[in-house]
Chain A
Amino acid sequence: MLLNQFLLLAGALFCIGVYGVIVRRNGVMVLMSIEMILNAVNINLVAFGAFNGTPIGSVFALFVIAVAAAEVGIGLAIVLLIYRNKKSIDFSEVDTLKG
């Protein structure tokens, strides 16, 4: 069965994504890292769905894809707002709130 390979791929993508979210300071790169985690989820869901012989996995993956699109849309809007106000999308410069 090929399940292991799919899970390893998903696990690797997940780790790369988490690393990217934590380390990257560029707004667009962080969004891409989040997308990478979500794609790891989709691979898991589809692989498990095929392994268990049920279409639920693919249906779940479709929901994830649709919602991820909405989420990234909002994310880009926020990054755009910050670019308009600050002329930069470096998240380490967004630090007015402290305490």
Chain B
Amino acid sequence: MDLTALPLAEIVAFNRPAIDWHGVAPELILLGFGALLTLVDVIFLDRARKISSALAGIALLATMVPILTLANDISDSGARVMFDGAYVIDEFSLIMKAVFILSGYVVILLSTNYIAEGDYWESEYYGLLLTSILGMVVMSSSRDLISIFVAFELLSIPSYMLATWKKRSLESNEAGLKYYLMGVFASAIMLYGMSLLFGVSGETILTKVNASLNVDPLSGEALTSSTPIITLGVIFVIVGFAFKVSAVPFHNWAPDTYSGAPIPVTAFLAVASKIAGFVALVQLVFVGFYARADVFEPLMWILAVASMTIGNLIALRQTDIVRLMAYSGVAQAGFILAPLAVAGQVGDQALSSVVTYLAIYAAMNLGAFAVILAAARKTGSTSLDSMNGLFSYAPGLAIAMTIFMFALAGIPPLGGWFAKFEIFFAVVEAGGTWAILLGVALALNSVIALYYYANIARRMWAEEAPNGDLTPIRVPASLSAALVLTVVVTLVFGFLPGAVSQFTDVGLIAGG
């Protein structure tokens, strides 16, 4: 091999690329507050405990400011592109950033009392949470294999530590261990796929990778079907992210991790972390692999149908509500993967249906975890029986939980129906035998899911409270705020679907 062929001269003559400071302002603010939080903790020690959750909340609200100004700016002047297209700020990325920041804010509201009362390390908790959210915010703008990989690790590594947060509890250790092993294994496989794709194209920027997937790497002629190295690369990368979104058959970690981790962390993993996996998948499918629809569409079809069906069937026989939510999350992941299986035919429509679903999913799932958290404050358990008779002693919580359950099941007029409708519409629009079969699977699974969601509602309204104990639950202010926020969003998205589709009706992602 001729090493002199390497263009070393270009490396020496390095020019710093222009940085769009307004464009990266959300990331910089999060980074600054994360560092500040750690610093405050080191300097003030125990006195910092009182302000750390407030500081983290302020950090997220402050991050929303540049996101709003950027949204205003790009609606006038179009997407902002940095580093030759490796980092793009467009409509899609800003919407996903806002979803991450707001769900992060709700998670902080959930954590405030739970972490303070449990004799845990507090400031580090919020520092890690902010770091993980920073990774997600970076992920929504990454249009390059290296930045996707770095963002993926930046959001994953802190969440391994958050899952292990109860240091002395074996359950929490086990939750963290399983999550860590699966996560690291998945990212290693994803990296192997990325290395193959890099080998084919010699580029890491997604648009350039996409262009080279149309060309035979050896002969330089246009490809009519895939070559083995491209197929392997695409499959490995998608499988890596399928672990993150807990799609069957890569879902085994989810129920164990969710039930062992502290509940606010579970909510964070089930919502923010899962959405981040989907954001990466959407970017890869719509920007990086779009030319190879013949490879990713069958794979997505299998993942979607398997996740929906197996997730729902196992959820039917769960006796623990957190494990039930984990399996229902697996099934929901199947729903969100479905439009990606027809992405080649319907393009934009599949994209906006996924974005709609992700935004609504965040609200209703976080809300459900907020109720579980509140109920566990009294019962101290997360078994399904502990939900019995909730209406008789905590009517507000029971009504909120009923709203979330029926929203997750997709009953009009609650938020979930519009999300499911959009997905169903995109799949049917694609046409063809496979798309119709996928539509049938979606419809059947909505019915199965309704059974176990409605069963939780039945327990709350019709059953007797365990031991006839009717002492009301004292819900702390921050938890109530989280509940009000998620209920309002779920209802608004359901009654006024125009309000959400106005934001989520994004065009194909700008690739730079």
Contacts and interface: CB of A to CB of B under 8 A. Distances in A.
B211 to A, nearest CB: 15
Given A37-B189, A63-B150, A75-B184, A94 B174 contact: yes
A51 B320 CA distance: 54
A63 B259 CA distance: 33
Contacts of A48: 195, 198-199, 202
Contact of A55 (B10, B175, B184, B320): B10
A74 B157 contact: yes
B270 to A, nearest CB: 16
B203 interface: yes
B174 A44 contact: no
Interface string B149-177: 11001000100110010011011011111
A51 B173 contact: no
Interface in A56-88: 56-57, 59-60, 63-64, 67, 70-71, 74-75, 77-79, 81-82, 85-86
A97 B256 contact: yes
A91 B439 CA distance: 41
B2 to A, nearest CB: 9
A74 B204 CA distance: 27
B246 to A, nearest CB: 15
Contact of B202 (A56, A77, A86): A56
Contact of A60 (B6, B8, B146, B170): B146
B175 to A, nearest CB: 7
Interface string B180-202: 11001101110110111011001
Contact of A38 (B7, B8, B191, B256): B191
B5 interface: yes
Interface residues of B, number: 52
Nearest to A52: B202
In terms of DSSP, what is the predominant structure of the interface of chain A?
helix
Contacts of B319: 99
A97 B185 contact: no
A76 to B, nearest CB: 10
A50 B6 contact: yes
Contacts of B198: 44-45, 48-49, 56-57, 60
B1 A99 contact: no
B19 interface: no
Given A2-B1, A71-B153, A40 B192 contact: yes
Interface string B242-269: 0000000000000110011000000000
B196 A82 contact: no
A50 B170 CA distance: 47
Nearest to A14: B192
B157 A37 contact: no
A50 B1 contact: yes
Q: Which 10 A-B pairs have the closest CB atoms?
A: A52-B202, A48-B199, A44-B195, A37-B188, A97-B256, A41-B191, A67-B153, A45-B195, A94-B174, A41-B195
Interface of A: 1-2, 10, 14, 17-18, 21, 30, 34, 37-38, 40-41, 44-45, 47-57, 59-60, 63-64, 67, 70-71, 74-75, 77-79, 81-82, 85-86, 91, 94-97, 99
Given A2-B1, A34-B185, 16 more contacts: A34-B184, A34-B188, A37-B188, A41-B191, A44-B196, A45-B195, A45-B198, A52-B202, A57-B198, A60-B195, A71-B153, A74-B157, A82-B173, A85-B168, A86-B170, A97-B175
